Structure 1
Amino acid sequence: MTPKKQVNIAVTSIDHSVWNDLLKKYVDEDGNVNYLGFKNDMTRLETYLEYLQQKAPSSDWEKNEKLAYYINLYNAATVKLIVDNYPTKSIKDIPNRWKKKWIAIGKSTTSLNDIEHEVLRKMNEPRIHFAINCASYSCPKLLNVAFTAKSMERLLSKATVDFVNDKKRNRFENGVAQLSKIFKWYKSDFTQDSSLLEYINPYLENPIDKKVKIEYLDYDWSLNEVK
């Protein structure tokens, strides 16, 4: 009997505990951020980003490990961008905020834009849009817990449910779906297999008629800071 050929599967173990501790300390349950607290704890934030730099993903990482790496990297880098320019009223007041290549991964540098559009959006997981945070009030809230490979499905579902049912970001009333502009900007990500409302409905506490009129709410780019 011919023995079965062994297949080597890479086992990665990325420690996101430093980021998890920082989130628990400086982000409240509503996703509001204590940026001054982060500023006073900058050494730990930079230590985490340096750690991720040294743990550059390889092609044999499993999907959830990659998702956790890049979601946490995006969120931690966004916080650092704000802190480096603090005080600021909006991320949009920071020049070249999304396109500047300053985030180190291995021996290369990348941008927030590239992490979102060239990595995360290409991983066939539209819920990443509710997991990454752009430091603004209309964005999906920054969870005060780090993503991990093991918690990925649970946290992606939580982030999506929280966002679509948040009346400050999406409203469903009087036969109209007033949606976040995230659903307009990235509509193609959500409608590969269904209509937009068919995608949203399974996450709604009170599902709506998929034929209702869709409107898009104004986007509030002011800093998601603890008041």
Structure 2
Amino acid sequence: MLETVGQVVVYSIAGCPHCLAAKKTLRDSGVPFIDVPVDRFPSVQNWLQEKTGQTSVPQIFFNETFVGGNDSLQRAIKDEEEWNKLLSDIQTNEPKEGALNIPHPSEATDAAASEFVCENDPSAPIVEELQESGILHDHRTSLFSSTKNVFSGHHFIKWIMRAKEVDEKEAHSIGQDLLSKKYILPLQNDAETNLLNDPKVYYRLNDTSHSSALNAGPTQKCKLGDAGELSEALRKTMLKLTNDHISADGKVVNYLEMRNAEEFDNYVKMSKELQHVAVEKLSQDESKAFFINIYNALVIHATAVNGSPSNWFSRLRFFDKTSYVIGGHTYSLNDIENGVLRANKRGALQFFAPFGKSDPRLKTSQMQVDPRIHFALNCGAKSCPPIKTFSSSNVNEELRIATEAYLESDEALQVDEDQGIIRLSSLLKWYSSDFGETLDEVLQWVLQNVAYPKKKAALQSVVDVKKYKHFRFIHAWAQYQHALAG
């Protein structure tokens, strides 16, 4: 180990593969360092951006010398003169007091996986009684199909009044509670959300026993509180699993070990509670944060269970077939991205919008597209945004940070002022309508949202005088590959 009087500081977050790669490089080189996890010290984020002009992590300092991210560190090591200069600095010079932000451990917030405590829902036993009530039957919904375990609102009210010895008002309240908690669902997709005492209005049990969704099967029938808290707990648990099973250099996740871990079993049990979340009641911001977290967790869950897609066709199938049951309805990855977060717009290679006019999932769609969601659904940059889990109370600020972190990378934006060439990530090509109707509008959107001063100034100089001669897209299928690292 190198003897030093100075200090090397790495600003990182848990589970960031590029952070892990940088720290392994330093360890292999015998360079001691201080690791400051900015996800546990949120106050450091603003300081770091003011100091470096950058939002992403890792960010590395040798005393007061700002090296940059992992790519910059690797380049410095290959440059013998530059590397020796950095080492000489920390071997001979003590750090200047207050030059770097190194918070005291007592200031840390708890960024660990949220503990999900399953309290028994007192309404759940009624569902078991309903299954034995004798009022369930098969109901023909068309000439060629029928639905099992169906009952009318009228028969339910009569049964519950008799079984619980309550009046009609209380019976209706019990049924409404089961409906709001998604234990029972209206058979007609366009039915009202209120339980109706009507012999012609039918309901069904929320039964996922025949579903291929990864969270299908019996739930623990937990009493659910805030849906956002459940989604954050799921996301944080999956991040911890990824962090526990990723290689020291950040390149490989051992999904077999992850799948066999006890905590993974706990995650699967927790994910089944999504079946009873009333997502249509979430506000726009709550829904945005909820579905971003669920999408990112589902990608890792599916990879741990089914492995990584190996070709173009299997990748398409992965995003189209990988699904969770949420609030009684099945959502694939494509449904979440295009149906919900992109306000029910057609995705790549899709001929129609994901949700039809009578689809009950349409109620969960965003009113309009927030283009920044594309940089929250796991990006392919060689750096990480300092945000991995999104909260309903602060989702817009978190999306701003994630967007700025992505746009500062060369995988997102490159500007050659001399040649008048702008290169943008293919993400902005695939989803160009989310960013603007014309190329100029797309560029203006990027200009408004890029925060890294060097790139902003370069882009401004080219766009302002409209002198760009060439516009190219950077291949961005790495988005999927990086998604597998959380």
TM over 0.5: yes
2:274 equivalent to 1:52: yes
2:373 equivalent to 1:115: no
Closer, same or farther: CA 87–114 of 1 in aligned 2, 3 Å? closer
The alignment's TM-score, normalised by the length of structure 1, stands at: 0.77
Partner residue, 1:64: 285
Equivalent-residue separation in structure 1 for 2:252 and 2:242 (angstroms):
6
Q: Which has the higher contact order (CA 8 A, sep 6+)?
A: 1
Question: Offset at 1:215?
Answer: 0.6
Question: Offset at 1:114?
Answer: 1.1
- Matched to 2:431, the amino acid is Y
* Alignment partner of 2:430 out of 160, 185, 205: 185
Q: Is 1:127–1:160's contact at 8 Å kept on the other side of the alignment? A: yes
Partner residue, 2:471: 214
* Alignment partner of 1:131 out of 376, 380, 386: 376
The alignment's TM-score, normalised by the length of structure 2, stands at: 0.39
- After alignment, is 69-78 or 100-109 more displaced? 100-109
Equivalent-residue separation in structure 2 for 1:128 and 1:140 (angstroms):
17
Equivalent-residue separation in structure 2 for 1:13 and 1:111 (angstroms):
19
Number of equivalent positions:
212
Partner residue, 2:299: 78
- SS of corresponding position for 1:96: helix
Structure 2 alignment gaps of length 5 or more: 1-224, 344-365
Structure 1 alignment gaps of length 5 or more: 1-10
Question: Offset at 1:97?
Answer: 0.9
Closer, same or farther: CA 48–91 of 1 in aligned 2, 3 Å? farther
Identity %: 24
- SS of corresponding position for 1:110: strand
Superposition RMSD in Å: 3.3
Equivalent-residue separation in structure 2 for 1:21 and 1:191 (angstroms):
36
Equivalent-residue separation in structure 2 for 1:86 and 1:142 (angstroms):
25
- After alignment, is 90-99 or 197-206 more displaced? 90-99
Looking at secondary structure, tell me which structure has more strand per residue: 2
Equivalent-residue separation in structure 1 for 2:258 and 2:437 (angstroms):
38
- Matched to 1:156, the amino acid is L
**How big is each residue's C-alpha offset from its partner over 1:86-131, in whole Å with a ceiling of 9 and x where there is no partner?**
3666786456112226321122212111111111001221111111
Equivalent-residue separation in structure 1 for 2:316 and 2:307 (angstroms):
13
Partner residue, 1:14: 228
Q: Which has the larger radius of gyration?
A: 2
Closer, same or farther: CA 63–201 of 1 in aligned 2, 3 Å? same
Q: Is 1:52–1:73's contact at 8 Å kept on the other side of the alignment? A: no
Equivalent-residue separation in structure 2 for 1:49 and 1:139 (angstroms):
30
Partner residue, 1:96: 317
Closer, same or farther: CA 82–13 of 1 in aligned 2, 3 Å? closer
Question: Offset at 1:25?
Answer: 5.5
